[in-house]
Chains A and B, each alone.
Chain A
């Protein structure tokens, strides 16, 4: 999961609440990686969130994709033979809000208003990832979240991803490990489960 230098527009918010949003990607199978940071809105008010679930599915309710490739040699061949598929299938992802930018400053708490439907969603640039994860306060929202995917998995993925934006990724992970040990002091099992994945 490579970080990008520039923020890239990847989709649009299609459902939003204060703590979470769902975005639809413009390109099939082109969701940002699990655990990566995305943002909606633009300066000076942006919302930052971590990708915690990705779904590839049919755009139309009641139309289930069927297996099509028995006589195709490659998977790309299926899309070449059925060009309509790229317009009938889509990729959505869910993101957990970890903070926002308030008057230019990063705040590691929930924004006053949720994302708007049709807000553009961007991947964060490596500079933005570094700025957002400079302080590890965002971890408190993350580990306290109630998600359909295991929070330990998302936390570890987010830390692995974010570490690449720092000059010393190892030092960043060690610092994050200590922060987790404090946050989850009563739950050694969870701390270990995350640390093993870093």
Chain B
């Protein structure tokens, strides 16, 4: 009988001792009664022992942490100043927190210090802009009136009576105002 995937999985978990009591008993009985299952289990255990004894118990690399720390330091020096700043922030968050707080205080101080002059400047600029706008509006109105009058003079024939001239003037003024 060939072992199917389910049986191999049961044997695998039996080898790791992660089955419940009943399943453990059943698998154990099965292994004892089935030569193929027994052979598979013994091969698996032998291979596990051999692998662990050869690969799982290597001598500790005593220089590993020194090499890693040096490599990481060098790596941070290869970076630009802003990247280093963030590296330092990660390696030393307390210093970074203090720096961030100091920068925040500086910004707040500058803001408080500059608030009055800036407000004053903005108010004065706004008043000036308003004044310029009013002057421009008045000047444009006056200029528009003058142009209208000139136009009336131009398009009305000199021989016409005053009535015609007044009618043309009214129409033009209405159009001008409408525009």
A-B interaction: no
Query: Residues of A at under 8 Å CB distance from B?
Result: none
Q: Which residues of B contact A (CB under 8 A)?
A: none
